């Protein structure tokens, strides 16, 4: 059998379902149905050969945006009146800020909250969020606050942490070295804006050592204190304090006035998909194409030529463009755009796994906390988010579990996908220990989302590295040597659009 024929036959069965979703009712002893979402199967085409699909007519656009996450949509919104098209491989927009629809309600499966923005943050992103009617300025608090007040988490229900049966309200505020920690970082108060490209050059030397080294060289921090700091770094950066730079660690604690009650937590049930939806509504649907997998990019005489698989129609075609914004994950570059892969070869990604348990009816609890920080040395579970604390009037209660893995554990996620019963069972046990209530029989369904390359780790030397590219090519996304934060992703898209032409917003 010829290789082309083999590929055509062997890949046909993959398209009974979208590439990024696995059949839900695998053989399982779990008493509830579940669905698994993963995009790793799409890589099979890139590794083992492309399907022999019929070719459609070539297409032409001035600008192509590859990737429909926060960065790609941000770029597209700033080009919306121009000749462009956005290509997204998945069946929905969002990337790592995506969500799953359950009974006409979107449930966040990635990044799930943001905080009010200080006035010293980047004016371009603030203006864009204001234009989207997401925020407004409060001159008394000197903060940009959120308009949709129903998504603000009440202060009394914001967070607690759980460690070996012990519950306390403030993780960092409780450890013994807190006073020394606060004094050490106070020097940088107000000096750590977002986006990180605005940080003054005098502080960039902090990028050359780890956060742990920065701390321990100044004070003999106790093990318990370092474990608490490690947890916080994993929760937002996907790695411990010895793996992230001092610049990234200091920025986390100093970018916003933590402890100030005016700094609100904004967390819709849909998570940061809320921002995706707001941006998508600014764009004509015809300019945002889903299930379009870019498999090759080459430099052409007057721009770039892209080979694209239409996963829905099972067709392939080429797009020719003058300008290109690459807002997809950069780990794809060696395969589809090798000419620019070396720039990002040092980027390391932290894998994440998210479980959403949808309950049949609200639980009877005296106290519901939105964020339940789960601290254990032997399991990747880092947090449990409970929608019961939301002010939104939703029809169902959802409890979501966030798991952080190290890059070397990425292959372990594939084993979990084959048999997820253990991770589901551990999740149920963790929830029941936390709320002291049996919920197994209350689970109506569950969703499992694998993100093998969810966020770039801001390791030593990572932040603000220069990117050399032609005038007609821009890279966007937090894996362009930025902090893995929503604000950074939006800013990267704006900067990419500004490089291409005069933006329309």
From 142, 343, 122, select the one nearest 257 (Cα to Cα). Answer: 142
Query: Does the structure show a pLDDT above 90 at 504?
Result: no
Quick one: average pLDDT of 433-456?
A: 91
The mean-pLDDT minimum among 22-36, 99-113, 472-486 falls in: 22-36
- The total number of residues shown for the chain amounts to 505
**Do 127 and 223 sit in the same domain of this protein?**
yes
Among the candidates 251, 266, 281, a domain finishes at 266
**HEC sequence for 112-175:** CCEECEECCCCHHHHHHHHHCCCEEEECCCCEEEECCHHHECCHHHCEEEEECCEEECCHHHHC
Among the candidates 208, 232, 266, a domain finishes at 266
**Do 71 and 211 sit in the same domain of this protein?**
no
- Most confident of the ranges 104-118, 255-269, 312-326: 312-326
**Do 127 and 248 sit in the same domain of this protein?**
yes
**Do 95 and 129 sit in the same domain of this protein?**
no
Domain-embedded: residue 57: no
Query: Does the structure show a pLDDT above 70 at 10?
Result: no
**Do 311 and 411 sit in the same domain of this protein?**
no
Above pLDDT 90, what percent of the chain?
69
pLDDT bin (cut points 50, 70, 90) of residue 395 is: low
Above pLDDT 70, what percent of the chain?
88
Domain-embedded: residue 387: yes
**Do 130 and 97 sit in the same domain of this protein?**
no
**Do 329 and 433 sit in the same domain of this protein?**
no
Contact partners, residue 358, CB within 8 Å, separation at least 6? 102, 107, 396, 397, 398, 443, 444, 445, 446, 447
**Do 464 and 489 sit in the same domain of this protein?**
yes
Extract the tokens encoding 302: 């007057």
Domain-embedded: residue 164: no
For residue 17, the model assigns a pLDDT of 38
322: three-class secondary structure by DSSP: strand
Domain-embedded: residue 208: yes
Query: Does the structure show a pLDDT above 70 at 81?
Result: yes
First and final C-alpha spacing in the chain: 55
From 292, 315, 313, select the one nearest 51 (Cα to Cα). Answer: 315
**Do 140 and 209 sit in the same domain of this protein?**
yes
Extract the tokens encoding 177: 């070295």
pLDDT digits (tens, 9 = 90+) for 398-430: 999 999 999 999 888 888 988 999 999 999 999
Query: Does the structure show a pLDDT above 50 at 23?
Result: no
For residue 228, the model assigns a pLDDT of 87
Domain that holds residue 421: 3-43+348-456
What Cα–Cα distance (Å) separates residue 472 from each residue in 63, 229, 341? 9, 42, 17
Give the long-range contacts of residues 253-258, CB within 8 A, separation 24 or more: 253/185, 254/185, 254/188, 254/189, 254/190, 254/191, 254/192, 255/118, 255/192, 255/193, 255/194, 256/115, 256/116, 256/118, 257/118
Extract the tokens encoding 16: 């009974």
Write out the H or E segment, with its range, that includes residue 253: helix 246-254
Residue whose structure tokens are 């925020």: 135
* β 166-168/159-163 pair status: antiparallel
pTM for this prediction: 0.92
Q: 40: burial class by Cβ within 10 Å (0-12, 13-18, 19+)?
A: middle
For residue 28, the model assigns a pLDDT of 60
For residue 5, the model assigns a pLDDT of 35
Give the long-range contacts of residues 330-337, CB within 8 A, separation 24 or more: 330/475, 330/477, 330/479, 330/480, 331/453, 331/479, 332/46, 335/46, 335/47, 336/46, 336/294, 336/295, 336/296, 336/297, 337/296, 337/297
Among the candidates 266, 281, 302, a domain finishes at 266
Q: 102: burial class by Cβ within 10 Å (0-12, 13-18, 19+)?
A: middle
For residue 394, the model assigns a pLDDT of 61
8 A C-beta contact, residue 311 and residue 18: yes
* Residues 44/48/52/57 CA torsion (nearest 10 deg): 70
Domain-embedded: residue 53: no
**Do 139 and 246 sit in the same domain of this protein?**
yes
Domain-embedded: residue 476: yes
CATH number at residue 474: 3.50.50.60
8 A C-beta contact, residue 209 and residue 243: no
Query: Does the structure show a pLDDT above 80 at 108?
Result: yes
Query: Does the structure show a pLDDT above 60 at 74?
Result: yes
Q: Residue 425 and residue 415: Cα distance in Å, rounded?
A: 15
Domain-embedded: residue 470: yes
Domain-embedded: residue 334: yes
Neighbours of 394 (CB within 10 A): 15
**Do 471 and 492 sit in the same domain of this protein?**
yes
Number of domains in the chain: 3
Query: Does the structure show a pLDDT above 70 at 19?
Result: no
**Do 327 and 367 sit in the same domain of this protein?**
no
CATH number at residue 397: 3.90.660
């Amino acid at each position: 059998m010829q290789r082309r024929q083999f590929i055509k036959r062997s890949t046909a069965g993959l398209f009974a379902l979208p590439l990024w979703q696995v059949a839900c009712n695998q053989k399982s002893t779990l008493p509830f149905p579940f669905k698994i979402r993963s995009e790793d199967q799409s890589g099979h085409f890139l590794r083992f050969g492309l399907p022999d699909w019929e070719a459609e007519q070539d297409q032409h656009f001035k600008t192509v945006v590859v990737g429909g996450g926060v960065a790609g949509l941000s770029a597209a919104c700033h080009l919306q009146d121009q000749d462009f098209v956005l290509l997204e491989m998945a069946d929905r927009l969002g990337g790592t800020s995506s969500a799953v629809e359950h009974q006409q309600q979107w449930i966040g499966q990635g990044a799930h909250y943001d905080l009010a923005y200080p006035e010293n943050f980047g004016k371009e992103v603030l203006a864009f969020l204001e234009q989207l009617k997401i925020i407004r300025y409060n001159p008394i608090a000197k903060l940009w606050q959120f308009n949709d007040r129903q998504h603000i988490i009440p202060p009394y229900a914001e967070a607690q942490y759980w460690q070996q049966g012990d519950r306390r309200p403030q993780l960092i505020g409780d450890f013994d070295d807190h006073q020394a920690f606060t004094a050490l970082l106070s020097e940088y108060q107000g000096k750590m804006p977002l986006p990180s490209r605005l940080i003054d050059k005098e502080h960039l030397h902090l990028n050359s050592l780890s956060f742990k080294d920065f701390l321990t060289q100044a004070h003999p921090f106790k093990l318990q204190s370092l474990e608490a700091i490690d947890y916080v770094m994993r929760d937002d950066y996907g790695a411990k304090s010895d793996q992230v730079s001092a610049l990234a660690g200091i920025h986390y604690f100093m970018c916003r006035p933590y402890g100030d009650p005016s700094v609100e937590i904004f967390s819709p049930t849909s998570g940061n998909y809320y921002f995706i939806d707001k941006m998508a509504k600014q764009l004509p649907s015809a300019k945002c194409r889903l299930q379009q997998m870019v498999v090759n990019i080459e430099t052409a005489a007057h721009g770039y030529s892209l080979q694209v698989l239409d996963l829905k129609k099972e067709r392939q075609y080429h797009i020719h463009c003058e300008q290109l914004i690459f807002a997809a994950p950069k780990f794809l570059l060696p395969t589809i755009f090798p000419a620019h892969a070396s720039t990002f070869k040092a980027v390391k990604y932290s894998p994440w796994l998210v479980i959403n348990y949808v309950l049949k009816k609200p639980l009877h609890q005296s106290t519901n906390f939105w964020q339940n920080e789960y601290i254990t040395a032997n399991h990747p579970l880092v947090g449990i988010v409970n929608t019961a604390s939301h002010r939104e009037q939703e029809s169902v209660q959802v409890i979501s579990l966030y798991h952080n893995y190290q890059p070397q554990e990425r292959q372990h996620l594939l084993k979990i996908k084959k048999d997820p019963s253990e991770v589901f069972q551990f999740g149920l046990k963790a929830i029941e220990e936390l709320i002291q209530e049996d919920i197994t029989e209350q689970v109506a369904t569950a969703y499992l989302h694998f993100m093998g390359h969810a966020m770039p780790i801001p390791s030593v030397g990572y932040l603000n590295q220069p990117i050399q590219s032609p005038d007609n090519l821009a890279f966007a996304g937090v894996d362009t040597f930025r902090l893995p934060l929503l604000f950074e992703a939006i800013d990267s898209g704006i900067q990419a659009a500004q490089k291409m032409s005069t933006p329309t917003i």
